[in-house]
Chain A
Amino acid sequence: MCANPLIVVEDLAKTFTLHNAESATIPVFDRLALEVSPGECVVLAGESGVGKSTLMRSIYGNYLPTQGTVRVLHDGTYVDITRALPHQVLDVRRRTLGYVSQFLRVIPRISTLQLTMEPLLENGVDAEEAQGRAETLLSALRLPRAHWDLPPATFSGGEQQRVNIARSFIRNYPVMLLDEPTASLDAENRAIVVTLIQQALDRGAAMIGIFHDSDVRDAVATRLFGVSEFKAAA
């Protein structure tokens, strides 16, 4: 038998209600169930608009599901993200649940190196060790050393994306959500990210990903999950 799943999604439903547009409702999915075990990378499949990002954001606690539970194994206990208090969700995010989005959202004027170290500093790693690990990772992602002391605001899309990836992979999160992490990267950088993902899987991380490029998807997916099978009736 394999180890306990790190993510257990049960009976999940999400419907958006737009109160300022004549209370229009947009049903996305319904009765969705998903389990992800250590070493698995589940890739969400389905065409644009089917609710892949909505599912991922619901798992991260960024969206509030209409119904159902999202349990994440945190410190040996399952925490239901949909009902946990804000500080509990933040603790899960700080230590267990990593998220790589397509966008870099950070305080301006802070250097790339500092930004990359931040997740480690938040977890009490001392500054020297954090800096060493940040430098190793930024080198691996081939971000020019001349950029490290600069804030990423003026970087290209691909460079900002790599800062984002460095910030997430610097911590060995047991659970990671990847929302198109390779969207604006060239083939060589995509290959580096694939290696990072495979290394994380080898050490037993559980992952859920959205990838539009098929080469990345084929390289990392251990199985596909069709979100459209759970399409909610409009």
Chain B
Amino acid sequence: MTTATIERSPSQAVAEIGQAPPLLRVSNLSKWYGHVVGCRDVSFELRPGEVLGIVGESGSGKTTLLNAISGRLPPTSGVVEFDTSRFGLANIYALNEPDRRRMQREEWGFVHQNPRDGLRMRVSGGANVAEPLMNLGNRHYGQMRRATLEWLDRVELDTSRIDDKPRNFSGGMQQRIQVARNLIHGPRLVFMDEPTGGLDVSVQARLLDLLRELVRDLGLAVIIVTHDMAVARLMAHRLIVMKSGYVVETGLTDQVLDDPQHPYSQLLVSSVLQI
């Protein structure tokens, strides 16, 4: 029972005409750490403008899965394909290192759980935000500064502190710098590992609204790991529920949260505290 994945089968009744190719396709992905399983036999597809939430208890393999599909942790087996702008749909681990890094830099964003993992602590907050633009070849200082100020404002940071070093910002502010840094270059896919964990709820609400806007207006795709079911409900179109490295249930977010089928999903949902 615990290993069976609960998933809806595609309907024959639904016309499959005009189906856009997926932005990301993950097939039978497994990652073992020696004898210890990280994640096992995970498959899914993601389209532009789709937000996928990955939920489950700590140690269930959420972060391992996120790292493996984002090109940061080679899987033991399985394939990760991304619709790259230069090569079309390509196995990201089959690309050579420079090409893969360039794709990650230009087309992806990755927001770490701990902002210190995603920021360069020796340069200013503003330089952290502007760096992805420089990586894309932008050399117009005035333009970059304007874009940086705009993004600091969008994540509700005091723009007068653009030249302060990250260590002089609070944890929640560092997280917002990291978010701005990962959105400023207009990525097509952003990976987020517990991005709202250290944020005040007011800033969290602003960030969720910002992401929704980008998803709606620009077709940004997001894969978000979270243990916060309220964030999952408001952000994600669909959910993957993980336990012990397996995907135990997947489906439409409100269906998984309101009518969970697997024993573990039922436990997870029924354990959420009400406010």
CB distance from B269 to the nearest CB of A (A): 10
Complex: how many Å from CA A171 to CA B252?
22
Are the C-beta atoms of A121 and B9 separated by less than 8 Å?
Answer: no
Complex: how many Å from CA A218 to CA B12?
40
CB distance from A136 to the nearest CB of B (A): 23
* Partner of A19 from B11, B202, B253, B266 at Cβ < 8 Å: B266
Q: How large is the interface on A (under 10, 10 to 19, 20 to 34, 35 or more residues)?
A: 20 to 34
Scan B40-52; emit 1 where CB is below 8 A from any A CB, else 0.
0000000100100
CB distance from A88 to the nearest CB of B (A): 6
Interface membership of B171, Cβ < 8 A: no
Chain B residue nearest in CB terms to A54: B259
Are the C-beta atoms of A84 and B205 separated by less than 8 Å?
Answer: no
Are the C-beta atoms of A57 and B266 separated by less than 8 Å?
Answer: no
- Given A83-B8, A107-B205, A107-B212 in contact, is the A89-B252 Cβ separation under 8 Å? yes
Chain A residue nearest in CB terms to B258: A62
- Given A61-B252, A64-B259 in contact, is the A86-B237 Cβ separation under 8 Å? yes
Complex: how many Å from CA A79 to CA B12?
9
Complex: how many Å from CA A87 to CA B19?
11
Scan B203-226; emit 1 where CB is below 8 A from any A CB, else 0.
001101100100010000000000
Chain B residue nearest in CB terms to A58: B259
Are the C-beta atoms of B9 and A90 separated by less than 8 Å?
Answer: no
CB distance from A122 to the nearest CB of B (A): 6
Interface membership of B101, Cβ < 8 A: no
Interface membership of B36, Cβ < 8 A: no
- Given A19-B266, A107-B205, A122-B216 in contact, is the A90-B252 Cβ separation under 8 Å? yes
Interface membership of B251, Cβ < 8 A: yes
Complex: how many Å from CA A213 to CA B209?
36
Q: How large is the interface on B (under 10, 10 to 19, 20 to 34, 35 or more residues)?
A: 20 to 34
Scan A52-78; emit 1 where CB is below 8 A from any B CB, else 0.
000001000111100001010000011
Complex: how many Å from CA A150 to CA B50?
29
Are the C-beta atoms of B255 and A62 separated by less than 8 Å?
Answer: yes
Interface membership of A1, Cβ < 8 A: no
Scan B157-189; emit 1 where CB is below 8 A from any A CB, else 0.
000000000000000000000000000000000
Complex: how many Å from CA A71 to CA B206?
37
Scan B191-209; emit 1 where CB is below 8 A from any A CB, else 0.
0000000000110011011
Interface membership of A154, Cβ < 8 A: no
Are the C-beta atoms of A64 and B10 separated by less than 8 Å?
Answer: no
Interface membership of B112, Cβ < 8 A: no
Scan A1-42; emit 1 where CB is below 8 A from any B CB, else 0.
000000000000000111110000000000000000000000
Complex: how many Å from CA A226 to CA B201?
44
Are the C-beta atoms of A64 and B205 separated by less than 8 Å?
Answer: no
Scan B231-270; emit 1 where CB is below 8 A from any A CB, else 0.
0011001100000000000011111001101110011001
Interface membership of A108, Cβ < 8 A: yes
What are 28 A-B interface contacts by the 8 Å CB criterion?
Answer: A16-B259, A17-B261, A19-B266, A61-B252, A61-B255, A63-B258, A77-B15, A78-B13, A79-B13, A80-B13, A83-B8, A83-B11, A84-B10, A84-B11, A84-B14, A85-B8, A85-B10, A85-B11, A85-B14, A88-B11, A89-B252, A90-B252, A106-B234, A107-B205, A107-B208, A110-B205, A121-B216, A122-B216
| Chain B residues near A (Cβ < 8 Å) | 8-11, 13-15, 47, 50, 201-202, 205-206, 208-209, 212, 216, 233-234, 237-238, 251-255, 258-259, 261-263, 266-267, 270
| Chain A residues near B (Cβ < 8 Å) | 16-20, 57, 61-64, 69, 71, 77-80, 82-90, 105-110, 121-122
